C-alpha cells in the first residue's frame, strides 16, 4: 500500500465530506430534503460517541482487559433503552427552552447563572481537550503505520506535524460548516450529514474487518469463540468495581458530553426521532462492539508480541496483506476522529463564545447603551476564534503529552470529568429543590477532586504532580494522597476518583441545595424545566410595554440576520392580527424572541440583550420589585400632584369667587359713592334751601317752626348717616371699646323691638317671640348687641312685603353659646346677593327705597365679630333669616383685647 | 434516577381539561398505555441488573464460571433483548394516542 496513494484517498475522502456537507447545507437552506432530518440521520449522528478511542482503542482495550471495553457502550445502551425516563425530558427541555449547550442548560436551569455557565464550560474544555488531542494522535499514529520503515516522508519524520495539519484542516471544516449561519435553532445540517456519512463509514469498516477476521481467516464463529477463550490472560477477569463503575461513567458521559448534547438535543429536529434512536443507537453500538473481541483475539494470536494493540485494526489487515481493507479501516478511524473533533469543537465553541466571550463582550460595553456594534458579526467571530482556540488547545495538549499514553485511559479520564455535571443536570431536571448554590458547590468540589485525583496524576509521575506527592500526599499529609484519598488504598485510580468525586459532588449538591434558598428566577426556571411536560407557558414574563419593537427588530436583525428577523417579526405581527407593521411587544412575544435569540447566543446573553433594550424591566424579580417600588413612588407622587392640583383648583375657584365679589363690591362702591353724595346732597340741599328761606324775613312763626323742623330733621339724618359711617370705620379698625356686663337677652331684644318700632311699617308686622327661651343671660356689650338686633328687626320691618308680615325671634341656648334666629316671612335675599349682603354699601332694591345707606348689616357683622360671635344668612329657611351666634362668655378675651 | 422520581410527568395538566374530574379508573386503552410507560421505565433498570449478573458468576475465584466467550455471548444476548424491548416499546409509545390519558394512576 503506497503511502502516497493512501494520502490521496484520504484527501479525496475529505473533499467528498466537504461536498456532502455543502450540498446538505444548501438543500436545507432551500427547505428541501426532509430526509436530512430523518430518524436515521439522527441516529447515525449520535455515533459521534464512537470516536477513535472506540475505533482503535476498543480493540486495544479488549486485548488488555477482555470484556471490560463493553462498559463504554453498555452505559449509553441503558440510557437510550430508557429514553422515556431521562432523554425524553432532556430533549423536551432543550427544545422548548432553546438550549444551545450543556452549559447553557445548567446555566438556564439555575436562574441563568453566569457562574455555572462558566464552570461547566471550563470543565468541558478541560475534559475535551485531551480527547481532541487523542483524536489527533490517532490520525498521526495511523498514518505512521502506513509509512513504510525507511520512508523519509514528513509523516514518519514528524508525527506532530501531521497532528498540526489535521487540526488545521478540521478547524477549517468546522468553521466553514459550523459557523456558517447563526441559526436560531443552532442546527448544522451540513455537519450532521457529513457525520452521518462518517458513521456509516466507520461501522462498515469495523464490520468488514470483523467479517474478514471471523470468516476470512478465523474459520467461523465457533473457532473464533475458542480463540477468544484461548486469548484470555490475567487482566481479562471481570472486576466488579470497574465493570459497574465504568458502565455508570459512560452512562453519565453520554448525557453530559458536550458533543453528545450537541447532536442529541441541539441538533434534534423532532422528538419522535428519539423514540427510534432509543433502540437504533444501541443497535449501532452493539454492531460496533460486536467484532472488537474477535479482532483483539486474532491480533493477539497472529501479531508479534509487543505490537501496539491500539493499532490492531490497521496492523492486522496489513499483516494479512489486505491493503484495501486496511485503507477502509484507516478511513473508518479517520472518520471517527474527525467527526468527534468537529462536533466537539462546535459544541465547545458555542459554550465558550456564549458563556465566556459574549458576556465579557457585553459587559465591556457601556450598560444601557444601544446595540451599536454588529452583534451577529461579533458572535460569529467569537465562535470562529473559539473553534480555532479549542483545536489549538487540543494540538498543544497532544504536543505536551507526547502521544505516549494508552488511548483508553485518556478517554476514561475525560468521561469522569464530564460526569461531574450529572448531579446538577439530573437535579435540575427532576428536583425543583436543586439550587444554583448547591449546583455550583457540588460541581466545584467534584471538579476539584477530579483534577486532583485523576487529571493531574494522568500526566505521569514526572508530570504536573510529583512522584513524592503521589506517594506521600501534599506536605506529607498522608490522607490526601491523590490516588488514595482519606486513606482508601487499593482502588483502581479511575474508580477511586469516580467514587470520591461523585460522592462529594452529590452530597455537597444535595446538602447545599437543601440549605440554600433559590432566587425567584431560579425557581421559575426550575419549575419550567422540572414540569416541562405540564407545558408551563410564558412563565418567563416580560413586563409589557417598555420594549420598543423597533429596537428589538434592530437587535434581532444583528443576531439572526435581517431576513430571518423580519420574517419572525412579520409572522408575529400576523399572529397578533396586524396586516402590516411591527408586532406589539407583548410578554409572550418577548419571551419567544428571547428563546429564539438564545438559540444563537445562549439564554443568559439573550436575556441580557433583551433586558438591555427593554430597560431590564421584569427580568429578575429583584428588578421587578424595584420596578414595583418605582411604580409605587410614581403613584404616590402623582396622587400628591393630584392633591396639589385639587388645591390649586380650589384656590383658583376661591380666587375667582373673591374676584367676582370684589368686582361686585367695587361696583357697589361706585354706586354707593354716587349714592352717598346723593344722600348727603339731598339733606344738604334741603337744609340750604330751608335755611335760605329762614334767612329771608317775613315768614310766619308757624312757617318758621316748620322749616326749622325740616332743617333739624335733615341735619339729624345727615348726622345719622355720618354716625353710621364713623361707627363702621371704628368697628373695622378695631378701635371700639366694649362695655362688658352680664345682661339678659330678653331685655336687649325688648329694647331693640321698642327702638325699631320707629321704623316705618313697624306697626303692621306681627312679632313672635318666646320670652322664656330668651330669658338667658350672657356677658356682652349690651348697647352694641342691641344695635345688631335693631338692625335685623328694622331690616325685617323695611323689607318684608308679605301680606301679613310676621317676624319671629327664635333663641336656642346651650352652656357655651346662644343662637338667635331673626326670621321674617318676606321674600328673603336673592341667591346672587347673599354673598355681598354683609358688605359695606350694599343695599338691595332701588336706592333710597328703604332710606338706608347699606351699612346696617356690615355694622352687624363687625359687631358680632367683635363680640366673639358671627352672623350668617340662612338660605335654607323660608323668607329672610339671619342667625346670630354668640358666646355666653368665651368671646370675652377676644372681644376685650 | 429511579422511576419513582418522575411523578406526574405523564399526567400533564394541559391534557387534563380544566374542571374535569380526574378519573380514578382508566379505560382499557389508557390503562395499557400507562403500563407501557411503566415498562419503558423498568427496561433500563432490568437491563442494568441483567448486565451486573456476570459479575456474580465470577465472584469466586478467577477460574470459576464460564470463559470470556460465554460471557460475551450472554452480554450480547442481553443487549439484543434490550434493543428489541426498546424497539417494541417505542413503537407503541409513539403511536398517536386515540384519546388523551386522564387522571393520575393511583
Contact B40 A85 (CB under 8 A): yes
Q: A488 and A594 share a domain?
A: no
In angstroms, the Cα distances linking A143 to A135, A171, A397, A533 are 12, 19, 19, 50
Nearest to A78 among B10, B41, B48 (CB): B48
- Give a yes or no: residue A53 inside a domain: yes
Sheet holding A817-824, edge to edge: A766-769, A806-813, A817-824, A881-887, A870-873
State the DSSP H helix or E strand holding residue A73, giving kind and residue range, or none if neither.
helix A71-81
* Same domain as A441, residue A303: no
* Domain assignment of residue A682, yes or no: no
Q: Tell me, what's the pLDDT at A155?
A: 41
- On whether residue A505 sits in a domain, the answer given is yes
Tell whether A442 is covered by a domain: yes
Q: Which residue of A has its CA nearest to B96?
A: A272
B47 touching chain A per CB within 8 A: yes
User: In terms of Cα–Cα distance, which of A557, A562, A566 is closest to A597?
Assistant: A557
Q: Kind and range of the H or E element at A444?
A: helix A436-450
A248 forms beta bridges with none
Q: Which residues in chain B come in under a pLDDT of 70? A: 1-26, 58-66, 95-106
The alpha-carbon gap from A648 to the nearest alpha carbon of chain B, in Å, equals: 54
The DSSP string of A366-404 is PTT----S-HHHHHHHHHHHHHHHHHHHHHHHHHHHTT-
pTM score above 0.90: no
Q: Do the Cβ atoms of B82 and A81 come within 8 Å?
A: yes
A426 vs A432: CA distance, rounded Å:
11
Q: End of a domain among A420, A445, A475?
A: A420
B9 part of contact set with chain A, CB < 8 Å:
yes
β-bridge pairing A881-887 and A740-744: unpaired
CA angle A663, A668, A672 (to 5 degrees): 150
Q: What mean pLDDT value characterizes chain A?
A: 78
Is the same domain home to A548 and A497? Answer: no
- Say which of B14, B59, B83 has its CB closest to residue A279: B83
Chain B residues within 8 A of A533 when measuring between CB atoms: 9-10, 12
Q: Are A473 and A479 in contact (CB under 8 A)?
A: yes
CA-closest candidate to residue A773, choices A739, A813, A733: A813
At A76 the pLDDT is 92
Top residue of A278, A297, A434 to mutate, by most chain B CBs within 10 Å, is A278
How far apart are the CA of A291 and the nearest CA of chain B, in angstroms? 11
Q: Which residue numbers of A have CB closer than 8 Å to B's CBs? A: 66-67, 70, 74, 77-86, 89, 225-226, 228-229, 232, 234, 236-238, 240, 243-244, 247, 272, 275-276, 278-279, 282-283, 286, 290, 293, 426, 430-431, 531, 533-535
SS3 A329: helix
Does A554 lie in the same domain as A507? no
Pair A219, A366 in one domain: yes
- Whether residues A115 and A249 fall in one domain: yes
Residue A510 makes CB contacts below 8 A (sequence gap 6+) with: A427, A438, A442
Give the pLDDT of residue A156.
Answer: 44
On whether residue A640 sits in a domain, the answer given is no
Our count of domains for chain A comes to 4
- Chains A, B: CB pairs < 8 Å: 124
User: Which of A145, A198, A137 is CA-nearest to residue A166?
Assistant: A137
Segments of chain A with pLDDT less than 50: 149-157, 184, 368-372, 406, 536-547, 616-620, 623, 846-850, 891-897
Contact A791, A857 (CB under 8 A): yes
Pairing mode of beta strands A806-813, A766-769: parallel
* Domain region containing A873: 737-896
B94 and chain A in contact, CB less than 8 A: yes
Considering CB atoms only, which of B40, B72, B79 is closest to A67?
Answer: B72
Enumerate residues 6+ apart whose C-beta is below 8 A from A635: none
Residue A369: per-residue pLDDT:
45
Q: Are residues A608 and A741 in the same domain?
A: no
- Say if residue A124 is in the same domain as residue A245: yes
B87 touches chain A (CB under 8 A): yes
Burial zone of A506 (CB within 10 Å; 0-12 exposed, 13-18 middle, 19+ buried): middle
Q: Looking at CA atoms only, how far is residue A36 from chain B in angstroms?
A: 21
Q: What's the confidence (pLDDT) of residue A395?
A: 83
- Whether A526 maps to a domain, the answer reads no
Residues 6+ apart with CB under 8 A from B1: A85, A86, A426, A430
Q: Is B105 on the interface with A (CB under 8 A)?
A: no
In this structure, is residue A723 part of a structural domain?
no
Q: How far apart are CA A886 and CA A872, in angstroms?
A: 12
**Residue A445 has what pLDDT?**
92
Select from A392, A420, A448 the last residue of a domain. A420
DSSP string, A845-870: SSTTSS---S-HHHHHHHHHHHTT-E
CB A84 to CB B3 under 8 A? Answer: no
d(C-alpha A258, C-alpha A248), whole Å: 17
Select from A785, A796, A784 the least CA-distant residue to A745: A785
Q: Which residues of A touch B72 (CB under 8 A)?
A: 67, 70, 228, 293
Which of B 57-76 lie inside 8 A of A, CB atoms? Answer: 58-59, 62, 67-69, 71-73, 75-76
C-alpha count within 13 angstroms, C-beta hemisphere, residue A581: 8
> What CATH number corresponds to the domain at position A885?
3.30.565.10
A352 with A449, same domain: the answer is: no
Residue A41 lies inside a defined structural domain of this protein: yes
ipTM above 0.90, yes or no: no
Q: What is the CATH number of the domain that holds A308?
A: 1.20.1730.10
What gap in Å lies between CA A814 and CA A776, rounded to an integer? 10
How many angstroms separate the CA of residue B47 from the nearest CA in chain A?
A: 7
CA angle A411, A416, A421 (to 5 degrees): 125
Strand partners, A884: A820, A871
Q: Are B90 and A83 in contact (CB under 8 A)?
A: yes
**Could B10 and A533 be called an inter-chain contact, meaning their C-beta atoms sit closer than 8 Å?**
yes
Contact A553, A561 (CB under 8 A): no
User: Pick from A241, A289, A250, A238: which is nearest to A78 by CA?
Assistant: A250
- Same domain? A373 vs A496: no
A 10 A CB-CB count for A378 gives 18
Task: Output the nine-digit C-alpha cell for A559.
Answer: 443576531
Q: Is A849 exposed, middle or buried (0-12, 13-18, 19+ CB in 10 A)?
A: exposed
Q: Which residues of B18-49 are buried (b: 16+ CB within 10 A; e: fewer)?
A: eeeeeeeebeeebeebbebbebbbebbebbbe
pLDDT value at position A538?
A: 36
Show residues of chain A in contact with B89, CB under 8 Å: 84, 278
- Nearest-Cα distance to chain A for B96, in Å, is 11
Given A579, A600, A629, the domain boundary residue is A629
User: Are A197 and A251 within one domain?
Assistant: yes
CA distance A126 to chain B (A): 27
Question: Does residue A879 come out as left (phi exceeding 0), alpha (psi in the -120 to 50 range) or beta?
Answer: left
DSSP chain B: --GGG-TTTTS-GGGS-TTPPPPSS--HHHHHHHHHHHHHHHHHHHHHHHHHHHHHHTSS-TTSS--HHHHHHHHHHHHHHHHHHHHHHHHHHTSPPSS---S---
> Which residues, 6+ apart, have CB-to-CB distance to A736 below 8 Å?
A730, A784, A866
> With an 8 Å Cβ cutoff, are A282 and B86 in contact?
yes
Contact A238 B55 (CB under 8 A): yes
pLDDT digits (tens, 9 = 90+) for A99-122: 888 888 888 888 878 888 888 998
Return the residue of B nearest to A62 by Cα: B68
Among all residues of chain B, which has the CA nearest to that of A429? Answer: B6
Of the partner residues B75, B80, B90, the one whose CB lies closest to the CB of residue A67: B75
| Angle between helix B68-93 and A71-81 (nearest 10) | 20
Is the distance from CB of A602 to CB of A355 less than 8 angstroms? yes
Say if residue A344 is in the same domain as residue A195. yes
Please tell me the distance from the alpha carbon of residue A124 to that of residue A102, in angstroms, as a whole number.
Answer: 9
Bridge partners of residue A819, in order along the sequence? A812, A885
Amino acid at each position: 500500500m503506497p503511502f502516497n496513494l493512501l494520502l490521496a484517498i484520504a484527501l479525496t475522502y475529505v473533499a467528498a465530506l466537504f461536498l456532502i456537507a455543502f450540498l446538505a447545507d444548501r438543500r436545507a437552506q432551500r427547505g428541501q430534503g426532509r430526509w436530512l432530518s430523518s430518524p436515521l440521520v439522527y441516529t447515525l449522528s449520535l455515533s459521534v460517541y464512537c470516536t477513535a478511542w472506540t475505533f482503535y482503542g476498543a480493540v486495544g482495550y479488549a486485548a488488555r482487559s477482555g470484556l471490560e471495553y463493553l462498559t463504554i457502550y453498555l452505559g449509553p445502551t441503558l440510557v437510550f433503552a430508557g429514553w422515556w425516563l431521562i432523554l425524553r425530558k432532556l430533549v423536551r427541555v432543550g427544545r422548548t427552552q432553546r438550549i444551545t449547550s450543556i452549559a447553557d442548560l445548567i446555566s438556564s436551569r439555575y436562574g441563568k447563572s453566569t457562574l455555572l455557565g462558566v464552570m461547566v464550560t471550563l470543565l468541558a474544555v478541560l475534559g475535551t481537550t485531551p480527547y481532541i488531542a487523542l483524536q489527533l494522535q490517532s490520525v498521526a499514529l495511523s498514518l505512521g503505520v502506513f509509512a513504510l520503515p525507511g520512508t523519509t516522508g514528513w509523516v514518519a519524520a514528524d508525527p506532530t506535524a501531521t497532528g498540526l495539519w489535521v487540526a488545521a484542516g478540521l478547524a477549517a471544516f468546522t468553521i466553514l460548516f459550523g459557523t456558517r449561519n447563526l441559526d436560531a435553532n443552532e442546527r448544522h445540517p451540513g455537519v450532521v450529514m457529513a457525520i452521518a456519512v462518517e458513521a456509516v463509514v466507520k461501522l462498515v469498516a469495523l464490520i468488514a474487518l470483523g467479517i474478514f477476521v471471523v470468516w476470512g481467516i478465523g474459520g467461523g464463529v465457533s473457532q473464533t469463540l475458542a480463540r477468544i477463550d484461548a486469548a484470555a490472560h490475567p487482566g481479562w477477569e471481570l472486576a466488579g468495581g470497574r465493570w459497574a463503575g465504568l458502565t455508570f461513567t459512560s452512562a453519565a458521559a453520554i448525557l453530559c458530553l458536550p458533543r453528545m448534547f450537541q447532536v442529541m438535543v441541539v441538533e434534534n429536529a423532532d422528538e419522535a426521532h428519539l423514540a427510534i434512536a432509543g433502540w437504533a443507537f444501541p443497535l449501532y453500538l452493539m454492531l460496533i462492539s460486536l467484532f472488537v473481541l474477535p479482532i483483539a483475539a486474532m491480533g493477539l494470536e497472529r501479531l508479534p508480541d509487543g505490537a501496539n494493540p491500539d493499532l490492531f485494526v490497521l496492523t492486522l489487515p496489513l499483516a494479512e496483506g489486505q491493503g484495501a481493507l486496511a485503507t477502509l479501516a484507516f478511513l473508518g478511524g479517520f472518520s471517527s476522529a474527525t467527526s468527534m473533533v468537529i462536533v466537539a469543537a462546535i459544541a465547545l465553541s458555542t459554550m465558550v463564545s456564549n458563556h465566556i466571550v459574549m458576556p465579557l463582550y457585553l459587559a465591556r460595553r457601556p450598560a444601557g447603551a444601544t446595540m451599536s456594534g454588529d452583534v451577529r458579526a461579533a458572535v460569529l467571530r467569537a465562535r470562529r476564534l473559539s473553534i480555532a482556540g479549542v483545536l489549538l488547545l487540543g494540538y498543544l495538549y497532544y504536543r505536551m503529552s507526547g502521544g505516549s499514553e494508552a488511548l483508553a485511559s485518556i478517554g476514561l479520564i475525560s468521561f469522569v470529568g464530564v460526569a461531574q455535571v450529572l448531579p446538577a443536570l439530573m437535579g435540575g431536571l427532576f428536583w425543583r429543590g436543586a439550587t444554583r448554590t448547591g449546583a455550583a458547590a457540588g460541581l466545584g468540589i467534584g471538579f476539584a477532586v477530579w483534577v486532583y485525583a485523576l487529571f493531574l496524576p494522568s500526566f505521569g509521575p514526572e508530570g504536573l504532580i510529583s512522584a513524592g506527592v503521589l506517594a506521600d500526599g501534599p506536605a506529607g499529609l498522608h490522607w490526601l494522597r491523590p490516588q488514595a484519598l482519606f486513606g482508601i488504598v487499593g482502588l483502581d485510580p479511575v474508580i477511586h476518583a469516580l467514587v470520591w468525586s461523585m460522592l462529594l459532588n452529590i452530597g455537597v449538591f444535595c446538602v447545599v441545595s437543601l440549605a440554600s434558598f433559590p432566587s425567584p428566577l431560579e425557581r421559575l426556571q426550575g419549575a419550567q424545566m422540572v414540569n416541562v411536560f405540564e407545558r408551563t407557558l410564558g412563565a418567563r414574563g416580560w413586563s409589557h410595554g417598555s420594549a420598543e419593537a423597533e429596537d428589538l427588530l434592530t437587535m434581532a436583525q444583528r443576531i439572526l440576520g435581517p431576513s430571518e428577523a423580519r420574517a419572525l417579526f412579520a409572522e408575529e405581527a400576523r399572529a397578533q392580527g396586524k396586516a402590516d407593521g411591527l408586532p406589539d411587544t407583548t410578554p409572550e412575544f418577548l419571551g419567544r424572541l428571547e428563546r429564539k435569540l438564545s438559540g444563537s447566543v445562549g439564554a443568559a446573553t439573550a436575556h441580557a440583550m433583551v433586558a438591555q433594550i427593554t430597560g431590564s424591566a421584569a427580568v429578575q424579580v429583584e428588578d421587578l420589585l424595584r420596578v414595583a417600588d418605582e411604580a409605587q413612588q410614581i403613584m404616590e407622587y402623582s396622587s400628591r400632584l393630584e392633591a396639589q392640583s385639587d388645591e390649586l383648583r380650589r384656590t383658583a375657584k376661591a380666587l375667582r369667587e373673591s374676584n367676582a365679589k370684589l368686582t361686585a363690591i367695587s361696583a357697589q362702591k361706585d354706586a354707593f359713592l354716587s349714592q352717598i353724595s346723593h344722600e348727603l346732597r339731598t339733606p344738604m340741599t334741603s337744609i340750604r334751601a330751608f335755611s335760605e328761606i329762614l334767612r329771608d324775613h317775613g315768614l310766619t312763626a308757624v312757617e318758621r317752626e316748620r322749616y326749622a323742623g325740616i332743617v333739624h330733621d335733615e341735619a339729624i339724618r345727615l348726622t345719622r348717616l355720618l354716625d353710621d359711617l364713623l361707627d363702621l370705620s371704628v368697628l373695622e379698625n378695631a378701635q371700639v371699646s366694649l362695655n362688658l356686663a352680664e345682661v339678659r337677652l330678653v331685655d336687649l331684644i325688648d329694647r331693640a323691638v321698642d327702638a325699631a318700632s320707629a321704623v316705618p311699617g313697624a306697626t303692621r308686622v306681627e312679632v313672635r317671640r318666646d320670652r322664656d327661651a330668651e330669658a338667658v343671660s350672657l356677658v356682652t356689650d349690651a348697647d352694641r348687641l342691641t344695635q345688631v338686633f335693631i338692625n335685623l328687626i328694622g331690616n325685617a320691618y323695611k323689607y318684608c312685603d308679605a301680606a301679613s308680615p310676621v317676624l319671629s325671634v327664635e333663641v336656642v341656648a346651650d352652656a357655651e353659646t346662644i343662637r338667635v334666629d331673626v326670621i321674617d316671612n318676606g321674600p328673603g335675599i336673592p341667591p346672587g346677593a347673599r354673598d355681598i349682603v354683609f358688605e359695606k354699601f350694599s343695599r338691595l332694591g332701588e336706592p333710597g327705597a328703604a332710606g338706608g345707606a347699606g351699612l346696617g348689616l356690615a355694622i352687624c357683622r363687625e359687631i358680632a365679630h367683635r363680640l366673639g360671635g358671627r352672623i350668617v344668612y340662612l338660605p335654607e329657611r323660608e323668607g329672610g333669616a339671619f342667625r346670630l351666634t354668640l358666646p355666653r362668655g368665651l368671646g370675652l378675651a377676644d372681644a376685650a383685647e | 434516577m429511579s422511576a419513582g422520581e418522575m411523578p406526574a410527568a405523564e399526567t400533564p395538566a394541559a391534557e387534563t381539561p380544566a374542571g374535569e374530574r380526574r378519573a380514578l379508573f382508566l379505560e382499557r386503552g389508557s390503562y395499557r398505555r400507562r403500563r407501557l410507560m411503566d415498562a419503558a421505565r423498568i427496561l433500563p433498570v432490568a437491563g442494568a441488573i441483567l448486565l451486573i449478573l456476570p459479575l456474580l458468576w465470577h465472584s469466586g475465584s478467577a477460574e470459576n464460571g464460564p470463559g470470556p466467550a460465554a460471557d460475551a455471548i450472554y452480554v450480547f444476548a442481553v443487549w439484543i433483548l434490550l434493543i428489541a424491548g426498546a424497539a417494541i416499546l417505542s413503537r407503541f409509545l409513539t403511536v398517536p394516542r386515540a384519546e388523551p390519558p386522564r387522571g393520575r394512576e393511583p
